[in-house]
Amino acid sequence: MLKKNGLVVLSDEIYSQLTFEENYKSISNFYPEGTIVSTGLSKWCGAGGWRLGFFAIPNQLKDLKNGLKTLCSESFTSVSAPIQYAAVEAYTGDYSTYLKTVKKILSFTGNYVYKNLKSNTINVTKPEGGFYLFPEFTNTKFSSSSEMCKDILNKTGVALLPGSDFGLDNNKMLARLSFTDFNGASFLKNTLGSKKLDDADLKKHAPNIVDGVSALKEWSNSL
């Protein structure tokens, strides 16, 4: 269908290196001549705020690429020098061991949150990558997801973003939950190698995650 109609696909693959299974395939593998891949280093490097991204544009779309270059040259300044040097290292060095350990930590943490939140009153999908979940609280009486998230914050101290902030129906009690509230450097340092993670590791290196999940469960059960 894409080839038949000559459509251009913009594929945002900023989380592609944080998938938990080794089975991710970009759409550019199947439609390279019409796919623009956008990605960057901030997510897989754990470098929030170090905003360097790029478009990978096929030669078949060179006219579009030239137009984008002109537009961007009039709209943006250059990326700061420290970030450029960091990007050179990130994209030329071998960080396979780092990535493997990061994905192990995120996969275990995400699955812990999933298994401990999933219930008759909380719908949540098992994470396959990244570091977010979108739980839906089915037993609430709030008028909007924003109101619900404010109540959760006030009563539990757990900060969630309402689903409406991401274009979802404000009447659905959906929220975005990030499971990265831990000291990443410490967690990484103490779990390098082949060690299999368990709940004790999470309680030691990510206590806020454990406490936050428990608080959310108690809040949901109290409604």
Both tokens of residue 126? Answer: 């098992």
pLDDT tens, position by position, for the chain (223 residues)?
Answer: 888 888 999 999 999 999 999 888 999 999 999 999 999 988 999 888 888 889 999 999 999 999 988 888 888 778 889 999 999 999 999 999 999 999 999 999 999 999 999 999 999 999 999 999 999 999 988 999 999 999 999 999 999 999 999 999 999 999 999 999 999 999 998 887 767 899 999 999 999 999 999 999 999 999 8
Q: Which residue ranges make up each domain of the chain? A: 2-92, 96-221
Question: Per CATH, the architecture of 96-221 is what?
Answer: Alpha-Beta Complex (3.90)
- For domain 2-92, give the CATH number: 3.40.640.10
- Tally of CA atoms within 13 A in the half-sphere of 69 that contains its CB: 8
